[in-house]
Amino acid sequence: MYIKKVNLENFRNYSRLGVEFFDGINVIEGKNAQGKTNLLEAIFFCCIGKSLRASREREVIKFGEDTARIKIEVQKYYKASEIYLLFSRLAKKTIKIDGIPIKRIGELFGELNAVYFSPDELRLIKDAPEDRRRFMDIHISQISKQYFYYLGRYEKILANRNKLLKDCKDVQVLKETLPIWDTQLVEVGTKIVRMRIDFVENLSPYAQKAHTYLTANSETLGLEYTGGAVLQGKGGLPLEQELQLIKDDLSKRLQKSVDKDIKLGYTSVGPHRDDIKISVNDIDIRSFGSQGQQRTVALSLKLAELEIMKEETGEMPILLLDDVLSELDAGRRERLLKFCAKTQTFITGTDFPKGLPNAKYFRVENATIN
């Protein structure tokens, strides 16, 4: 798929913008604070209906204005579609696909798929497990509405269980009531764990390949979903049996931590605490990797995500690369740009070499693009 046209109205620093893009590499050049990231943010908003900057949504409305609009024309293999987002200071945002308002954000998933990468994504490797879970959740939600639904269910059940843990001071009552929530938590949690294991298993060979490629064969990458440890060494079981193993394991973990949870006042085990363990040449990259290694691993994960999205949806997603080239050495840069040729790419930066193959250049200056 690719984006044909982006229209913005009062979005961030843009008053009015209408630009047709190229289905190859779109080089978005400009000095700092001109609107490059804002453009990518607008595009990514149309993928998941949320901001990639974890800010309050109304902040996207241009200072002094009441509403903001994004309109994006997308071309897929067999159809074209138009995604429209309206933000207002007074009302909830509206999303329309081909002119028809959607009721739930889940309906937007799959209309426009993109992978976003910026130097901030180093968080994915360095920071708390939360970022890695978000990575999985955003990805799997884009390709499975069912997963998005399970996540919502899980969060509700978890919130109820946590509320009980926090509010109820009677241990006897707690021990009698918790199992009601546990049954539901395990039921939905099992589905989430199963889909995440699948995701990491699918991602792994592509991430390894991307990493080997970016590092010119000097490093080997390993990925493992911690919540799937129970299936370790049990490859090839029928799905039903695998689900049962995950379920039993989750139940057991919940039961084992019940006293701890009561003491803490929240649920300390489950998919909301799982993680992806990442190693390079068998060494834990989070604790022992260099900054450069971590950066390359983050990029490999994102490039792999692109490939499995294609496998899962039949369409190549769009690649959004925000300010990443300056952070890579010359060899990795060149290999990354070669990789970009596979799909429509928006790549921002302050300056680029002239004459990149299969690329069109756009200059962003004070919220205008030429």
Ligand X SMILES: Nc1ncnc2c1ncn2[C@@H]1O[C@H](COP(=O)(O)OP(=O)(O)O)[C@@H](O)[C@H]1O
User: What residues make contact with Mg ion under the rule CB under 5 A?
Assistant: 36-37
Q: Which residue is nearest to Mg ion (CB)?
A: 37
For 276, the enclosing helix (H) or strand (E) is: strand 276-280
CA atoms within 13 Å, Cβ hemisphere of 79:
8
Which of Mg ion, ligand X, none interacts with 217 (beta carbon under 5 to 8 A by kind)?
none
Which listed range, 25-33, 143-151, 197-205, 261-269, lies at the site for ligand X (CB under 6 A)?
25-33
Q: Is residue 38 part of the contact set for ligand X (CB under 6 A)?
A: yes
User: Which tokens in the block code for residue 359?
Assistant: 């690329």
Contact between 134 and 339 under an 8 Å Cβ cutoff? The reply is no
Least distance from ligand X to the Cβ atom of residue 131, Å: 21
Task: Measure the CA–CA gap between 136 and 119, rounded to whole angstroms.
Answer: 19
Distances in Å between the Cα of 15 and the Cα atoms of 6, 10, 312, 337 are 13, 4, 37, 31
Which of ligand X, Mg ion, none interacts with 294 (beta carbon under 5 to 8 A by kind)?
none
Query: Of 3, 8, 12, 197, which one interacts with ligand X (CB under 6 A)?
Result: 12
- Edge-first strand order for the sheet with 2-11 is 14-20, 2-11, 67-75, 80-88, 94-97, 100-101
Give Cα 119 to chain centroid, integer Å: 15
Site for ligand X, residues 96 to 125, rule: CB under 6 A: none
Residue with tokens 């200059």: 363
Count of beta carbons in the 10 Å neighbourhood of residue 68: 24
Site for ligand X, residues 49 to 88, rule: CB under 6 A: 59-63
Least distance from ligand X to the Cβ atom of residue 62, Å: 4
Which of Mg ion, ligand X, none interacts with 32 (beta carbon under 5 to 8 A by kind)?
ligand X
Could you give the 3-state DSSP secondary structure of residue 368?
A: strand
Which of ligand X, Mg ion, none interacts with 247 (beta carbon under 5 to 8 A by kind)?
none
Kindly write out the interface string for residues 205-244 of this chain, putting x where it contacts ligand X by CB under 6 A and - elsewhere: ----------------------------------------
Q: Which is nearer to ligand X, 87 or 181 (CB)?
A: 87
Of 270, 284, 283, nearest in space to 227 by CA: 270
Query: Of 26, 34, 204, 343, which one interacts with ligand X (CB under 6 A)?
Result: 34
Report the interface residues with ligand X, using CB under 6 A.
12-13, 30, 32-38, 59-63
